[in-house]
Amino acid sequence: MRPGPRRSISQVDIVDAAFRILEEKGFAAVSVRGVAAALGLTPTAMYTYFASKNALLRAMVEQLLSTIDLGAASDARLAWRDRVGALAGALRARLAEHTGAMVLMTSGPLDGPHALGLNEALIAGFTAEGMPPADAARAAHAVRAYVLGVAAIDAAERAGDGATSVGSTGPEALWTDAARFPLTAATADAARADDAFRWGLDRLFDGLVAVPAALSAS
């Protein structure tokens, strides 16, 4: 019996396969050869879709960011803090959905259409407050850096869940010794609370708005 015609492979298929490898084997395993093997393609055939590994990684970043709803950024009914805060929260949530997303996001420049769209929305959120465009661009950069930093900590904590238990012995006990680190132990819940992210974001907003205002008043 003859096999049926082979289904054509799309760029979406390739990116989906790359994400499966990322989830199952980690970032280091994501390669042109690895994705080609997963799809039954030759590496040469893969290059007709993506000219390099960097091109593949950029496509993965774009897919990661493609589902972030930028609508809140243009909702005039919301205060600018809520608009920018919604974008920051959506980015953090999206990064939490994929193992290895943090490494992926820092694998190259964020210059694809969806990445630039997110940046545009962040800048627009600050210009709505009356901030000059150059300052708004710097503020958008600061927000992205804050979100990526928190997302990295989130990922590290998820990776460590269950790995250490109170009362354990050996080197790992260092991190659960409340007597040696009383302030850390006493404030652990506050530092890990869901609202800690927004608390830090609000303090960042306070500083970003206060500095230009102070400069203009001097």
pLDDT 10s digits, 182-199: 888 888 787 776 789 999
Query: 76-217 in CATH: which number?
Result: 1.10.357.10
Domain boundaries along the sequence of the chain: 76-217
Q: Which residue matches tokens 């007597």?
A: 179
Note the pTM of the prediction, 2 decimals: 0.82
Neighbours of 211 (CB within 10 A): 13
Among left, alpha and beta (phi > 0; psi -120 to 50; other), residue 98 is: beta
Tell me the C-alpha distance between 173 and 175, whole Å.
5
Question: What pLDDT is recorded for position 168?
Answer: 45
Residues 6+ apart with CB under 8 A from 105: 61, 64, 95, 148
pLDDT 10s digits, 97-151: 988 888 899 988 999 999 999 999 999 999 988 899 999 999 999 999 999 999 9
Question: What pLDDT is recorded for position 213?
Answer: 58
